[in-house]
Amino acid sequence: MRFTVAIDGPAAAGKGTISKAVAAQFGFAHLDTGLLYRAVGAKVGVGGDPVAVARALVPQDLAVEGLRTPEVAQAASKVAVISEVRAALVAFQRDFARREGGAVLDGRDIGTVICPEAEVKLYITASAEVRATRRWKELCETGITQDYDAVLAEVRERDARDMGRADAPLRPAQDAREIDTSEMSIEAAVAAAVAAVSAAMSAAETATAAMRQLGGEA
């Protein structure tokens, strides 16, 4: 069975947590596409050419330690605006999306560019203030001291860069279901996402059964 769930949204909206939970619930493979850009950004930070690095990226590069640091996140956002980098990573993502057994991909252009044909498209969002608070708490828990206002400024800066880029800007697909997690618990957000996927899977199974019945009658 091939079934693709595309989950997009800005930083710290909760899409990563929701994506992992959805993948676990249905036994689907999961790809955090942001790691692709983080891996490229990390290599560029030590002198690599962004386009060459993107073209040579392999799955093992996603397991490198340190890809979750704020510095690498900023580097990832910067290389993500390079059209040639995005183009080089498209095939990697599309091959993953159509694998047998189902797949969940989360990122910023999955439902709009990478997998516009995905069976389920979700757009996870939250206010900049709520997302900055979440990111600030994460940093504090890992021992990184940073001023909240600075974190909020970084969130807004990244939003502007992601939403304003000419190539594949961050935006919800026209047929995406939007889930605003600003005032939702993670459990409620996951439940909403799981319900959306369950409904789509049931509809797909019903349609497949109907087609088989018509084929048998013919």
Q: What is the pLDDT of residues 129-148, one digit of tens each?
A: 999 999 999 989 988 888 99
Place of tokens 């955090």: 32
Whether 167 has a pLDDT exceeding 90, the answer reads no
- Structure tokens that stand for 163 in this block: 């939403």
Higher pLDDT, 206 or 215: 206
Q: Where are the domains of the chain?
A: 4-125+168-217
DSSP state of 27: T
CATH number of 4-125+168-217: 3.40.50.300
Res. 216 pLDDT band, cuts 50 70 90: low
What pLDDT score does 217 carry? Answer: 61
- Structure tokens that stand for 12 in this block: 């710290």
Q: Rounded to the nearest 5 degrees, what angle is found at the Cα of 104, between the Cα atoms of 170 and 66?
A: 75
What pLDDT score does 152 carry? Answer: 97
Let me know: does 77 contact 158? Beta carbons within 8 Å: yes
Coil, strand, or helix at residue 46? Answer: coil
Average pLDDT over residues 70-74: 89
